[in-house]
Amino acid sequence: MDFANNPSFIRQGPSPAARLALCAALSVTLLISDSQFGLMEQVRQGLSVAFYPLQRAVNMPVTAARAVSDFFTTQASLQADNNALRNRHLAMAARLQRLETLEHDYETLRQLNHLKSARRDAGELAEVLYTGRDPFSYKIIIDKGEDAKLRPGQPVVDEQGLIGQVTRVQPLTAEVTLVVDKTLMIPVMLQRTGARAILYGYGGGVDVRYLPVHADVQSGDLFVTSGIDGLYPEGIPVARISRVDRNGDTAFIRLAAVPVAGVQRGRYVMVLDEKAHVPARPAEPPPPAPKAKKKSAEDEDN
Amino acid sequence: MSFDRPKEILKPVKRRIIFLSFALAILFELLPLPQEAQAWLPDFTGLLVLYWVINQPRRVGIGTSFSVGILADIASAGLFGQHALAYSVTSFLALLRQRQLVMFNLGQQALSVLGLMLINQFIMVVARMLTGSAFAGWSYFLPPLTGALLWPLITKLLLLPYRNMD
């Protein structure tokens, strides 16, 4: 640093401008290597382990407050909860009975059709540690990671529906990208009609594009995962249509949809196992002859 | 000279206080806060970087700002380098006018800090949008405002350990 009261012959290292140039160059390199090539994954993993006790420590007051409020819950509210839960349990049990019958029928039908049955997977229960502070992406950090054998790509749900997908696994924690994030696309279908579509997150909400104007959709319809990508198991509720806008000018319907799951709230989530092994894609059909010829000619040129 | 700058002779700043303040700011970054609070809470790490650059330019320069920025990047789970870039640029700008900034009264300083923090956010928005993120909305520029409002308070707080109490 140069100051007016320093004699000019006392050098204090490189000038601020030079330092800035160095630091800016470094940060731009970091930015590019992180966003384009993901070169910093290893560093991030190591650092996340170092940060883990800190995260736990700053979470402690919150956890303690929860514990205290749990302790002072009155008996009346407990009883009310208990009753509600018992009722719910009865209703659920009835539904489960029906579901089991249906599942059995379904299995039989599938086997009749000589189809492999889809595996019903258990999941890993995880607690949300904190939401990412980064306002540009919608992510949550959960308290299970490599220690629970999580892998990137596993779907994450809560009791209402799909929340997102595990995108980055660190030794003790994992990052879940929420369905409202701009980078997530989910193949869905309309539960009522079975029409397939793709649900795009746009940063803060979800959006269904490219449904033709005359498609049969109503507000209140539910989008569930279609399961055709081999990643999300089929039938998980994702979003509900809140408004349908059929504008004659465009070829597509404009739909406003809201995620059904507690995407930005809730404490516990379930990380599902990936879908059962999907057979590999059939090989591409051989390209038509003239094209192949042209390509081989090009190869010879090169 | 202004009224609200301390006129008494202050004790020298201890290195560990600087470390401690940055550590606290990073810890604060890790706190699980509700979404609504995050929307307006200022970037305390950035404010501290500016405070120390303005008041202790020999101790805290561009290199320190860069390193603190890297830590902030990790803590906020953003992209590597976004805070580092923003902090290095703003601390450079602050250093250019450092001798002027220390003479300002707290109101004038708060205004300059508002400008610098806005530049911070602007650099981060540009960096993120160039690397393919969606625009986070205009509310992203609200934290610098609350930060500038809190500047006098932060200054007073950080001066407390250096007052000669006798």
Residue-by-residue DSSP string for A240-253:
EEEEEE--TTSSB-
Q: A168 with A124: CB under 8 angstroms?
A: no
pLDDT band at B123 (very low <50, low <70, confident <90, very high): very high
The alpha carbon dihedral of B42, B44, B46, B51 has a sign of positive
Spatial separation of the C-alpha atoms in residues B114 and B133, rounded to whole Å:
25
Give how far A31 is from chain B: nearest CA, Å: 5
ipTM, two decimals, is: 0.78
Residue whose structure tokens are 């490189």: A14
Can you give the pTM of this predicted structure? Answer: 0.65
Q: B161 with B20: CB under 8 angstroms?
A: no
φ and ψ at residue B28, rounded to 5 degrees? -60, -35
pLDDT band at B5 (very low <50, low <70, confident <90, very high): low
pLDDT band at B50 (very low <50, low <70, confident <90, very high): very high
Q: Which residues of B touch A141 (CB under 8 A)?
A: 77
pLDDT band at B83 (very low <50, low <70, confident <90, very high): very high
Q: Which residues of A touch B39 (CB under 8 A)?
A: 135
Q: A31 with B66: CB under 8 angstroms?
A: no
Partner-chain residue, chosen from B66, B76, B96, that has the shortest CB–CB distance to A26: B66
A121/B116: higher pLDDT: B116
Of chain B, the end-to-end C-alpha distance in Å amounts to: 24
Residues recorded for chain A: 302
The pLDDT value given to residue B68: 93
| The amino acid at B82 | Q
Spatial separation of the C-alpha atoms in residues A295 and A273, rounded to whole Å:
42
- Other beta carbons within 10 Å of A114: 6
| pLDDT greater than 50 at residue A1 | no
| pLDDT greater than 70 at residue A177 | yes
Residue contact B77–A134, C-beta within 8 A: yes
| pLDDT greater than 50 at residue B3 | no
Among B72, B102, B76, which residue's Cα sits nearest to residue B87?
A: B72
> Chain B residue closest to A16 (CA)?
B92
The pLDDT value given to residue A11: 59
**Angle, to 10 degrees, between the axis of helix B44-55 and the axis of helix B106-130?**
130
DSSP-derived pairing of the beta strands A254-259 and A206-209: antiparallel
DSSP-derived pairing of the beta strands A162-169 and A222-225: unpaired
Q: Is B23 on the interface with A (CB under 8 A)?
A: no
Q: A244 with A215: CB under 8 angstroms?
A: no
Residue whose structure tokens are 């040129």: A301
| pLDDT greater than 60 at residue A293 | no
> Chain B residue closest to A5 (CA)?
B99
Q: B117 with B43: CB under 8 angstroms?
A: yes
Residue whose structure tokens are 């591409």: A284
Q: A237 with A260: CB under 8 angstroms?
A: yes
Among B68, B69, B91, which residue's Cα sits nearest to residue B81?
A: B69
The pLDDT value given to residue A289: 62
> Chain A residue closest to B71 (CA)?
A47
pLDDT band at B112 (very low <50, low <70, confident <90, very high): very high
E strand intervals along chain A: 123-131, 139-142, 155-157, 162-169, 174-178, 185-190, 196-201, 206-209, 222-225, 237-245, 254-259, 268-272
The pLDDT value given to residue B35: 67
Give how far B3 is from chain A: nearest CA, Å: 25
- Which of these ranges, A2-11, A98-107, A132-141, A262-271, has the smallest mean pLDDT? A2-11
The encoded tokens of residue B101 equal 């900034």
Residue whose structure tokens are 């981060």: B124
| pLDDT greater than 50 at residue A122 | yes
Residue contact B74–A44, C-beta within 8 A: yes
Give how far A234 is from chain B: nearest CA, Å: 29
Interval B11-33: pLDDT, tens: 777 888 889 999 999 888 877 67
Q: Which residues of A touch B75 (CB under 8 A)?
A: 51, 133
The pLDDT value given to residue B2: 46
Q: How far is CA A156 from the centre of its chain?
A: 6
Spatial separation of the C-alpha atoms in residues B75 and B79, rounded to whole Å:
10
Spatial separation of the C-alpha atoms in residues A129 and A109, rounded to whole Å:
43
| The amino acid at B88 | S
Give how far A53 is from chain B: nearest CA, Å: 11
Q: A269 with A158: CB under 8 angstroms?
A: yes
Spatial separation of the C-alpha atoms in residues A241 and B119, rounded to whole Å:
39
